[in-house]
Chains A and B, each alone.
Chain A
């Protein structure tokens, strides 16, 4: 059960061909640059754009010939698109009222959803008076109101302040797992796709170039574009402040030193990314200022043109990107031991949850 879509959709001269399978309770992220066809897929799924070929099935029933209003899909739009003349509560009740649910029942259900998903929002408030994060929470409640079988999240974090993102991301993750249907997340930011989705599909110019678990895509990106976009080192762990303002990030596979740009509390959960290009490889133990120095065995080398991705069994495991020439010059091959180093400031850090009694902090980039 869940979503099975296999279709071609055309808009103007642009064509998108895609196969999507998403089980109930599962989240699939569609990740691609602007113009890759993400909005065309959204319109095809919601029904505002007719399919050129193929079919969309939800729980085994074809929905592609149904008009938009009859498809059991809840949509959270980019820019939230809350109706400006309706209150927060009326916005959430809208999909129910549109389906002729009695007013009292619709409002009660809307109130319940708002209380659960957007507790800080006054139900009578005009959308204009809410913050970006609050608006997106209301939009999520609105999408869930009619108990959809498919939740479509179109770049839900695009207009949300960075400080409100972790909370919203956690909410989206919980909702996607528990609401009972399949979730498709349209993402522009690779971090959203990698951290929220069970599987990721990469889109380039209307074509699916790679589909797989985030881990798989991260470790073995199928193209140069994918490597740039998602081929990052990703660390999830708990922070421990160091006396000099830096911090240690403890992950399940080892520790690294990071440089938060504001004080962090002990025990704060954080996500950290590191670009492979920022990781240097050395044949001998390096001298210099880099605070992160690891020793490990090369487990994989992938050469793509003049670039090479080198995977090293350090703790935590690292991927470095160097030139193909360096691979030859240093005599690197699988099984060889090397040193890897990177600076603490190269790690970009996103605080997911705060430790007890620490002031709220936003994204601590770098």
Chain B
């Protein structure tokens, strides 16, 4: 027998759906569609778009490069204080990004704890450069890779690794040929989530890397800046982000279905 849905539930659910859909609809309604060409091909928008793609992809790559080994250690290595380490690593997911950006500034900024040595010793400056934007974005994205990979590692039957060792595989060979292929669905999910998060990154980037067109001004920053001077353009840029994010979510759904 089908359960009847009570009327109050319908009303609340409808309100919720409208609340989420309304801003998106408003963007679609208020968008100056006539200016679409100029807004999206304009120098500023194109630069921001390219920068966003580069920064988010490099940050995703770095998140995988560092996040997967980190997840491995958290899942497998006999380390003391594992739960504390995990909490610290995952913190950026729940932390306000502006706090992360401030922390990055104090650590890696020109006068920061390590940044000072980088700047004075090596002449390397991260703030106000594309590398600053990448660092800030990686900071918020990597935990998502760590979380997805670690849960994947825990779900793998460890007897396969013991079998690989007994059959002559070194630990490194076993990871490359057996574990990583078995982890593929979780790695893909982690990478897509990290990329989506990277694409929308705003707070840490603007705090740590600043807002410089062509260097650190990614799409969200460009939207933020354009909203006063060129509201129509800001709306069109926003819709571009909406389209990209929606694409990621749809791709993500397929990934999850495949993983099952």
> Which residues from chain A sit less than 8 Å from chain B, CB to CB?
43, 46-48, 67-71, 73-75, 77, 79, 81, 83-86, 94-95, 97-99, 142-143, 146
Contacts and interface: CB of A to CB of B under 8 A. Distances in A.
Contact of A99 (B162, B163, B166, B168): B168
Interface in B70-125: none
A98 B162 contact: no
Contact of A48 (B162, B170, B178, B184): B162
A75 B167 contact: yes
A21 B97 CA distance: 65
Contacts, number: 67
B177 A94 contact: yes
20 contacts: A43-B162, A48-B166, A68-B165, A69-B168, A69-B170, A70-B168, A74-B167, A79-B159, A83-B160, A83-B164, A83-B177, A85-B178, A85-B182, A94-B164, A94-B169, A95-B168, A95-B169, A98-B168, A98-B173, A142-B167
Given A81-B159, A86-B178, 11 more contacts: A48-B162, A48-B165, A81-B160, A81-B163, A84-B160, A85-B182, A85-B184, A86-B177, A97-B177, A98-B164, A98-B177
Contacts of A81: 159-160, 163
Contacts of A146: 167-168
Nearest to A94: B167
Interface string B155-188: 0000110111111111001100110011010000
Interface of B: 159-160, 162-170, 173-174, 177-178, 181-182, 184
A78 to B, nearest CB: 9
B166 A98 contact: no
A47 B167 contact: no
Contacts of B168: 69-70, 95, 98-99, 146
Contacts of B163: 75, 77, 81, 83
B166 A83 contact: no
A357 B159 CA distance: 43
A75 B170 CA distance: 16
Most A-side CB within 10 Å, residue of B163, B165, B170, B173: B163
A83 B178 contact: yes
Nearest to B171: A69
A295 to B, nearest CB: 54
Nearest to A77: B163
